[in-house]
Amino acid sequence: MRLSPVLLLASLLSSAYAESKAVPEADEADFASDLALAEAALAVRTVPKYFDERRLEKRTNPGGTYAPTYVSCPKDSSGDLKTLVREASSISNKENAYLDGRHAAINEYLPTYLNQLNMTDFDAETFLEDTNITIGIAFSGGGYRAMLSGAGFLAAFDNRTTNSTNDGHVGGLLQSATYIAGLSGGSWLVGSWAINGFPTIADLQGDEDVWDLSHSIINPDGWELWDTAEYWDYLLDAADAKRDAGFNISLTDYWGLGLANQLLNYTDGGPAVTFSDIRNQTLFKNFSMPYPLVVSDGRPYNTLIVSTNSSVYEFSPYEFGSWDPSAYAFIQTEYLGSTVDAGVPVNSSACVKGFDNAGFVIGTSATLFNQFILQLNSSGVSGLVYDAAVDILSDIGEDNDDVAPYQPNPFYGYNEDISYMYNETILNLVDGGEDYQNIPLVPLIQPSRGVDVIFAVDNSADTDYDWPSGWSLTATYDRQFGTQANGTKFPAVPDKNTFVGLNLTAQPTWFGCNASNITGTNGGTTVPLIVYLANHPLSYYSNTSTFKLSYETDEVEGMITNGYNVATQGNGTLDDTWAACIGCAIIHREVERRNATHTEQCQACLSKYCWDGTVLSSNATEETEEPDVEITSDNTGGAGMLSWKSAQWGVVALAIAVAAAL
Ligand SMILES: *[C@@H]1O[C@H](CO)[C@@H](O)[C@H](O)[C@H]1NC(C)=O
Ligand SMILES: *[C@@H]1O[C@H](CO)[C@@H](O)[C@H](O)[C@H]1NC(C)=O
Ligand SMILES: *[C@@H]1O[C@H](CO)[C@@H](O)[C@H](O)[C@H]1NC(C)=O
Ligand SMILES: *[C@@H]1O[C@H](CO)[C@@H](O)[C@H](O)[C@H]1NC(C)=O
Ligand SMILES: *[C@@H]1O[C@H](CO)[C@@H](O)[C@H](O)[C@H]1NC(C)=O
Ligand SMILES: *[C@@H]1O[C@H](CO)[C@@H](O)[C@H](O)[C@H]1NC(C)=O
Ligand SMILES: *[C@@H]1O[C@H](CO)[C@@H](O)[C@H](O)[C@H]1NC(C)=O
Ligand SMILES: *[C@@H]1O[C@H](CO)[C@@H](O)[C@H](O)[C@H]1NC(C)=O
Ligand SMILES: *[C@@H]1O[C@H](CO)[C@@H](O)[C@H](O)[C@H]1NC(C)=O
Ligand SMILES: *[C@@H]1O[C@H](CO)[C@@H](O)[C@H](O)[C@H]1NC(C)=O
Ligand SMILES: *[C@@H]1O[C@H](CO)[C@@H](O)[C@H](O)[C@H]1NC(C)=O
Ligand SMILES: *[C@@H]1O[C@H](CO)[C@@H](O)[C@H](O)[C@H]1NC(C)=O
């Protein structure tokens, strides 16, 4: 009976109430606030607005179209089956074709942008003649915090945002960028934005049917249990249809369907909309937007820990795969799910389309379940609810259901001499942040992509108060010395003590300013400059919990505006040369390549923003106090530590509801 998860959830909640009242061993006040927060998290609101009608109307065709479908396999002009997989020795022809169009568009616009940034004593037109500058933008993981804070950066970078091209603002970086990458919560931003047709953040924010964040993904209708049950029914039916079509399903299917429902501008979240459909968006077809990438990690079967030696996989509208030697191959994204051997379809009339469902892909980048298990111990959840959750989560863990199984493995029988995936029937993917590289940098430091500068937006929760500490950069730095590096280089970065102690997370910091410090093959000016932009409270406490699953309108506004303020340094109020410095960062590698001298203005930017190699002694204490909001005091409302607790309840309820439904 399909209502059981909801009824179970309700009864668990009431027993949680009863229990916490009966066992007041923890601090009374803590309990009271826990209860209030649990209630707030799960009963998001009691009076549904437009929601019910919309869901019911959207649910007219439940299930059917989420199932992948079988098609005949593509053939070449002489009638032979095409190979769907290729070696990762270069970028694909299709990406190359996209870059031709994209570079042409950027070359036309970039001089205008650099002039808008008020660079002085610099002739942009002349400098950029016969030059392609390749800019990448990367958005870290961190749940909805990362999505919303990241959205503020994206809004600031987008010259279509109202007032974003004013003095002191930086709008146009997006229009100048070649690549944009997202991971986990950052993939919800980049993925949902691209799949929705690259709208402005203001449009997404203003459209109550799209970024539908005031309704929890677990329990969208609050105490309207019947409606929430209908919603779960829809998710279950949709996933069933995929199973009936012969595919393994996992928690990631429910998770992805729920995310799609919340984030994608299609009826029911677009059960038939695929990631490769981005190719068909007008702004992609006319090369107006950077090439979008979403990152996941490969996890070897039967292990819980993912190390920095894991394989990093990327999804693009054309291809899915990994540059790492452990796989070193790409398959066409639209044919994911097809059974292949050595890249060739096994049955010429049974290739698969629709497996690369858009929600499933952004869910794959964000399979946080594995981390829930690791964090439950310290979550403050206790008693019956804890036991139930541990049971369920451990089962899931043992079955390896906390991963997104990509089955059949697209790289079966491919690259025999090197690939770990050669004999595997399943490719298991997990959250892109599980190898601690929480910023999706690996695709952007591939020598074949030739990126000059990466704007690395870090919304990680590394410190006690859920602010970043530069840890993800350290992980990417370390990786270049491991077995998966395969020729990738990354500039030196300090440890997290230094990051926090030298305030490198409190203002923009550039790494790799001196290309000649990066030595060896593929070193020097071929390694991108890293412009590191960490989440910091300029106008709002944007350190909400990774597991906070619903946001009210004013919270969304606070998060986005804070991101906008970090990206623009308070629209130039913290540094009126910041916009010009962005221009200097863009041209920096090319200036180095030409052995040219920077303008005085750019030299000042380098002195101000480059990390100079200083490290603090390892016994310097890490700052543990929460930083103050810097530029306004009237717009604060986030409360990271408190929402963390409410989120625990949400997580437990999700696990219970899903497991009961399975
Ligand atoms: C710039 O990119 C275009 C398109 O990819 C290419 O044709 C051209 O040769 C490149 N120019 C330079 C100077 O590399
Ligand atoms: C930027 O340049 C414009 C046009 O030259 C000028 O009006 C404006 O004051 C400059 N802004 C800053 C912050 O220097
Ligand atoms: C844009 O700037 C103008 C003038 O400063 C201001 O009146 C308006 O409210 C701003 N619009 C937005 C959407 O920020
Ligand atoms: C924004 O960028 C596009 C190029 O992608 C350009 O055509 C347009 O004029 C720019 N708009 C503004 C307001 O600068
Ligand atoms: C969502 O789709 C509707 C209908 O196609 C469109 O009118 C609206 O602008 C879209 N919203 C966004 C944020 O793209
Ligand atoms: C999407 O674009 C691809 C190639 O760019 C094309 O083959 C396909 O038919 C298009 N799909 C739709 C639904 O328009
Ligand atoms: C694949 O499995 C076969 C049979 O177990 C074994 O002989 C072979 O060495 C394996 N190859 C690789 C690359 O793991
Ligand atoms: C990357 O790995 C592949 C496969 O092992 C190898 O052929 C290639 O030479 C490596 N590239 C570099 C730059 O090390
Ligand atoms: C870091 O910022 C804090 C607070 O603004 C300040 O007290 C401290 O001196 C700064 N440290 C450095 C090394 O700049
Ligand atoms: C910067 O501009 C944005 C949008 O125009 C606005 O929301 C924000 O409050 C401004 N920040 C400051 C510090 O004035
Ligand atoms: C720049 O200087 C380096 C080292 O001095 C030299 O190898 C290189 O050829 C020079 N490049 C140009 C464009 O002059
Ligand atoms: C880079 O090299 C210069 C000169 O050798 C040195 O002074 C500087 O500290 C180095 N920077 C970093 C970040 O290691």
Place of tokens 């379809």: 345
Decide: 594 in ligand 11 pocket, CB within 6 A: yes
Q: Does residue 42 form part of some domain?
A: no
How many Å lie between the centroid of ligand 9 and the Cα of residue 117? 28
How far apart are alpha carbons 220 and 55 in whole angstroms? 10
Residue where the block lists tokens 């997370």: 505
Q: Report the number of distinct structural domains present in the chain.
A: 1
Question: DSSP for 506-546?
Answer: TS-EEE--SGGGS-STT-GGGSPEEEEEE---SSS-----T
- Asked if residue 471 is part of any domain, the answer here is yes
416 CA closest ligand 7 atom index:
13
Burial class (CB within 10 angstroms; exposed 0-12, middle 13-18, buried 19+) of 89: exposed
For ligand 10, atom 12: residue with the closest CA? 570
Mean pLDDT of the chain: 82
Of 147 and 49, the structure prediction assigns the larger pLDDT to: 147
Burial of 540 (0-12, 13-18, 19+ CB in 10 A): buried
Banded model confidence at residue 580, pLDDT cuts 50, 70, 90:
very high
Q: For residue range 417-450, what is the model confidence (pLDDT) as tens digits?
A: 999 899 999 999 988 988 889 999 999 999 999 9
| Angstrom distance (rounded) from CA 291 to CA 181 | 8
For residue 648, the model assigns a pLDDT of: 47
Q: Which two tokens stand for residue 477?
A: 């730095």
Domain span at residue 80?
5-22+47-94+179-201+212-450+457-540+548-553+580-661
Query: Are the beta carbons of 226 and 48 closer than 8 angstroms?
Result: no
Q: How confident is the model at residue 453, as a pLDDT?
A: 98
Q: What is the dihedral of CA 263, 258, 13, 249, to 10 degrees?
A: -160
Whether residue 422 has its Cβ less than 6 Å from ligand 4: no
How remote is the CA of residue 527 from the centroid of ligand 11, in Å? 16
Residue 389: what pLDDT?
53
The answer on pLDDT for 87 being more than 50 is yes
**Of ligand 11's atoms, which has the minimum distance to the CA of residue 594?**
13
Ligand 6 test: best mutation among 278, 279, 319, most atoms within 8 Å of CB? 279
Q: How far apart are CA 285 and CA 294, in angstroms?
A: 19
The arithmetic mean of pLDDT across residues 23-31, rounded, is 31
So what's the pLDDT on residue 331? Answer: 98
pLDDT tens, residue by residue, 269-289: 888 899 999 999 999 999 999
Q: What is the tens place of the pLDDT at every residue in 103-153? A: 999 999 999 999 999 999 999 999 999 999 999 999 999 999 999 999 999
The answer to whether 643 and 548 are in contact (CB under 8 A) is yes
Q: Per-residue pLDDT averaged across 60-82, rounded?
A: 79
Q: Which of 488-502, 538-552, 625-639 has the lowest mean pLDDT?
A: 625-639
Burial degree of 519 (CB within 10 A; 0-12, 13-18, 19+)? exposed
Q: Which residue has the higher pLDDT, 548 or 654?
A: 548
Name all residues whose Cβ lies below 6 A of ligand 9.
Answer: 502-503, 506
Protein residue whose Cα sits closest to atom 6 of ligand 5:
265
Atom of ligand 7 nearest to the CA of 417: 13
64 within domain boundaries: yes
Q: What is the pLDDT of residues 383-412, one digit of tens each?
A: 554 565 565 555 555 555 567 889 999 999
Does an H or E element contain 229, and which? helix 225-244
pTM score, two decimals?
Answer: 0.87
- 3-class DSSP state of 65: helix
pLDDT tens per residue across span 198-226: 999 999 998 877 887 887 666 666 555 55
Question: Are the CB atoms for 430 and 183 separated by under 8 Å?
Answer: no
**Nearest alpha carbon to residue 249 among 257, 239, 258, 259:** 239
Tokens 């500039």 appear where? 491
Ligand 7 within 6 A of CB of 70: no
Task: Look up residue 444 and give its DSSP letter.
Answer: G
- pLDDT, residue 597, reads 97
| pLDDT at residue number 235 | 76
Counting from 1 in the atom list of ligand 1, the atom nearest the Cα of 99 is: 5
**158 within some domain:** no
The two most distant CA atoms of the chain are separated, in Å, by 76
Q: Ligand 8 — pocket residues by CB below 6 A? A: 325, 328, 418, 486-487
How many other CB atoms are there within 10 angstroms of residue 638's CB atom?
A: 22
Query: By alpha-carbon position, which residue is closest to atom 1 of ligand 9?
Result: 503
Is 263 contained in some domain? yes
Q: pLDDT band at residue 642, thresholds of 50, 70 and 90?
A: very low
DSSP letter string, 572-630: TTS-TTHHHHHHHHHHHHHHHHTTPPPPHHHHHHHHHHB--S----TTSPPP-SPPPP-
| Cβ–ligand 3 contact at 206 (below 6 Å) | no
Q: Is the pLDDT of residue 522 over 70?
A: yes
Q: CATH number, domain at 642?
A: 3.40.1090
